[in-house]
Structure 1
Amino acid sequence: MKTAQDLVMQAKAATQEVTLVDAEEAIRQADVLMDVREADEFAAGHLPGAILVPRGLLEFKLSSTPALSGRDLKVVLYCKTSGRAALAAQTMQSMGYLNVSSIAGGFDAWNAAGKAVVKPEQPAFE
């Protein structure tokens, strides 16, 4: 029986992962920067310009959002550490998307490198 880690390793072997050094250029060249974490993770901080499409809803959002339906879109994905993004990239490839990559190390590596992060202000109820 395969473990979650086995599936992630298999997905990483079958998809393109960009290094943290190359991530900013990949994002500049992308049509879409997609955060596949959960809504609470996204709200706590995300990469500038990212849209939220949780991995659990990925196939449904891609199928129902005309702006994301073009199979030739250049998409960069990320999650917390890169496992979910690799699985999402593999799923997108199986759906026919041609230009999908993920960021090695994910949000945690990006944040640890001191790169820009958007942290929406929460309303204060005082």
Structure 2
Amino acid sequence: MKTAHDLVAAAKSQIQEISIAEAEDAIKEADILLDVREPDEYAASHLQGAVNIPRGLLEFKLSGSPELSARNLNIVVYCKTSGRAALAASTLHEMGYLQVKSIAGGFDAWIQSGKSIVSPALPTFE
């Protein structure tokens, strides 16, 4: 029986994973930056310009969004540590998307490298 780790390892062997150093340029060139974390993770903080489509809804959201139907879209995907992003990138390839990159180490590696993030501030009620 395969474990989650086995599935992620298999996915990573089939996708293009890019380093944090390569990620900034890849994001600038991307048509869409996908954050496949859960909505509460995204709401807490995310990369500038990212669109949140949780991993569990990815296939359904993409299939139901005409603006995301072009299979030649340049897509960069990330999650917290890169496991969900690897699975998402693999799924995107299976769906026929041709230009998909996953950020190695994910959001955590992005933060550890000192890159900027968006952290919405809660309103004050004073």
Where on the TM-score scale, by shorter chain, does this alignment land: which range? Answer: over 0.9
Alignment pair present for 1:67 and 2:75: no
Q: How many residues align?
A: 126
Structure 2 gap ranges (5+)? none
Q: Which amino acid aligns with 1:105?
A: G
Partner of residue 89, structure 1? 89
Which amino acid in structure 2 is aligned with residue 84 of structure 1? R
Using structure 2 for the length normalisation, give the TM-score.
Answer: 0.97
**Alpha-carbon shift at residue 67 of structure 1 (Å):** 1.4
Taking the TM superposition and a 5 Å limit, the aligned residue runs for 1:9-20 are: 9-20=9-20
What is the root-mean-square deviation of aligned Cα atoms in Å? 0.8
Deviation, 1:124, is 3.2
State the SS of the aligned residue for 1:90.
Answer: helix
Looking at structure 1, the residues matched to 2 and 117 of structure 2 have their Cα atoms a distance apart, in angstroms, of: 35
Percent identical across equivalent pairs? 63
Q: Residues 49-91 of structure 1: CA distance to partner in whole angstroms, max 9, x if unpaired?
A: 1000000000010011111111000000000000000000000
Structure 1: gaps spanning 5 or more residues: none
**SS across alignment from 1:96:** coil
Cα drift, residue 2 of structure 1: 0.4
Q: Secondary structure at the match of 2:13?
A: helix
Distance 1:115 1:67 in 2: 29
Deviating runs (4+, > 2 A) in structure 1? 123-126
> SS of 2:76's equivalent?
strand
TM-score (normalised: structure 1): 0.97
* Alignment correspondent of 2:58: 58
Distance 2:91 2:125 in 1: 41
Query: Is 1:39 matched with 2:64?
Result: no
Distance 1:66 1:46 in 2: 24
Deviation, 1:120, is 0.9
Q: Which amino acid aligns with 1:29?
A: E
Q: Distance in 2 between matches of 1:116 and 1:123?
A: 21
